[in-house]
Amino acid sequence: MNYQNVIEFAKQLDKEDSLSYLRNEYHIPKDENGNDWLYFTGNSLGLQPKQTQIYIQQELNDWAKYGVEGHFEAKNPWMPYHEFLTDKMANIVGAKPLEVVVMNTLTTNLHLLMVSFYQPTQKKFKIVIESDAFPSDRYAVQSQLKFHGIDPEEGLVEWKPREGEELLNITDLEEILDSQGDEIALLLIGGVNYYTGQYLDLKKIAELGHDKNCIVGIDLAHGAGNIQPNLHDSGVDFAAWCTYKYLNSGPGSLSALFVHEKHAHNRDLPRFAGWWNHNKETRFNMRQPFDVMPGAEGWQLSNPPILSMAAIRSSLDIFDKVGMNALREKSERLTGYFEYLINEIDTDRIKIITPSNPKERGCQLSIQVKKADKTLHQKLTENNIITDWREPDVIRCAPVPMYNSFEDVYRMVSILKTLL
């Protein structure tokens, strides 16, 4: 598309956008004068769908009306409530329903998955992460190594960008596996890097890892609801993601996980057990020996928090009506226009470090500021532009196709240009 750096062009793109109506489905934060913020932090916390209050209120009403009987008598019975989310969540990440369950929180789920899939031996014990992995992933992996009596200095392998570059090169991962594959037990990689916005080739990573008999896991925190990871076809062994970023389910809301179908009926996998991953047909016969459920549900431990799941259900219903194909198509147009406008700014102070190929990025663009401190980010905030600063020198901006407009992007870049 031949973009134009004028407000009229941005408004015309919004008129032609078949998804522009979605903005009205969300609460847009406003300044003291009642003007919408320019909100570009869906990569940290997505905005609230207007219908979410209705979904949560339904469960509050049924709790008041039925008490404990709401598990069976509520309009949406609580006993099987997590099952109401499964099909729609599976569609978002490209999985089979058997492979997906919503439960717990992200780092908790990563630990539960590593209990099953990280089984180090004396020879094969190392874990590969990207060098700039999100801190919680690094901490989780380091603690797993220590739990198994392995020094993280010896057991942690970092996939790093080349000197002078910001992005990861798949060839370098291949070289790591060629040289150390006999010692590597697990790859745990962020599908979309939180800092650069780089979307990695999950299928290729799975193929490289499996060629060396390694387990491959993916953290999709910055990918779910943003890109189309096609988890089943990718062949990765497991994945986990939060729902409060692009999936708009509210602060601290639940996580979800994926376990590939090839592991669905392996009852010998080590795992922690609880009431809710026991066979649902005999769960309430309280004296039965543990009988693990097949598929991803076999990693549940506890009955789910219904109010949080109601918020997730509200959001997933919107995703289901729209579909990831349409959202992804709009996302690529939004970041394409955003990228064009940033590159139109005549300055050497900033550059985009996110891949220029739309197929290799999510809806986030990371703007690197030379000789930076947080001053520019603070000035953006003072102008009611909500972005996300990440040390040492990057402003992360995520134009989310659900609720951001082309005019949002134009106005944001116009103010950024003035501040520069």
**3-class SS of residue 137:** helix
For the domain covering 7-47+323-419, report its CATH number: 3.90.1150.10
Which pLDDT belongs to residue 374? Answer: 86
Strand partners, 219: 190, 240
Q: Residue ranges of the alpha helices (H) in 221-368? A: 231-234, 306-322, 324-344
Domains of the chain by residue range:
7-47+323-419, 57-320
CA pair distance 327, 316, nearest whole angstrom: 13
Which pLDDT belongs to residue 283? Answer: 85
3-state per-residue secondary structure call for 65-119: HHHHHHHHHCCCCCCCCCHHHHHHHHHHHCCCHHHEEEECCHHHHHHHHHHHHCC
Which pLDDT belongs to residue 285? Answer: 83
CA pair distance 65, 371, nearest whole angstrom: 60
What are the CA-CA distances from residue 160 to residues 165, 180, 231, 310, 348 (Å)?
Answer: 9, 15, 24, 40, 26
**For the chain (length 420 residues), average pLDDT per consecutive 10?**
94 97 97 94 97 98 98 96 98 98 97 98 97 95 98 98 96 98 98 96 98 98 97 98 98 97 96 91 84 95 95 98 97 97 93 95 94 86 94 94 98 94
CATH class of the 57-320 domain in this structure: alpha beta
- Tokens standing for residue 72: 């069976």
Which pLDDT belongs to residue 370? Answer: 87
Within 8 A by CB and 6+ apart from 63, the residues are 70, 74
